[in-house]
Amino acid sequence: MLSHVRKKDVLLVRLTGELDQCSASGIRRDLDQMLLDPRVRHLVIDLKDMPFMDSSGLGVILGRYRMMQERGGTVSLMHLSPQVKRVYDLSGMARIIPVVEEKEAAE
């Protein structure tokens, strides 16, 4: 499940539940719909209420990163649980998609 708030050119998306093979296609579809708005230049994904993410979830995030990169935008994450952070770090994505603090996301 996801909810979102848009402020100027920043889209803040809050994901809840698990981002796995079962939920990835629906979340991907919803995110892509929100990102049709060309005014969105920065995507911030809040994972505070997401205790689990597998490689399908990493694929969703990486795909949105590529979309935003093509339009000159950015993607960042915040509030990773220890389990999600471990998967994220092991995947190597930490080198390309930053984890930010809440105050940085608002800027």
- What are the beta bridge partners of residue 45? 13, 77
**Nearest-CA neighbor of 35 among 58, 56, 65?**
65
Sorting pLDDT into bands at 50, 70 and 90, what band is 102?
confident
Range of the domain at 74: 2-105
β 42-53/74-78 pair status: parallel
Looking at residue 101, what is its pLDDT? 86
Q: What is the pTM of this model?
A: 0.92
Tell me the CATH number at 65: 3.30.750.24
Mean pLDDT over residues 45-72, rounded? 95
Structural domains in the chain (count):
1
**Nearest-CA neighbor of 47 among 10, 5, 2?**
2
Alpha-carbon gap, residue 104 to 76, rounded angstroms: 10
Does position 105 have pLDDT exceeding 80, yes or no?
no
Sorting pLDDT into bands at 50, 70 and 90, what band is 1?
confident
Sorting pLDDT into bands at 50, 70 and 90, what band is 92?
very high
Q: What Å distances lie between residue 57 and 5, 33, 64, CA to CA? A: 21, 17, 11
Alpha-carbon gap, residue 1 to 18, rounded angstroms: 9
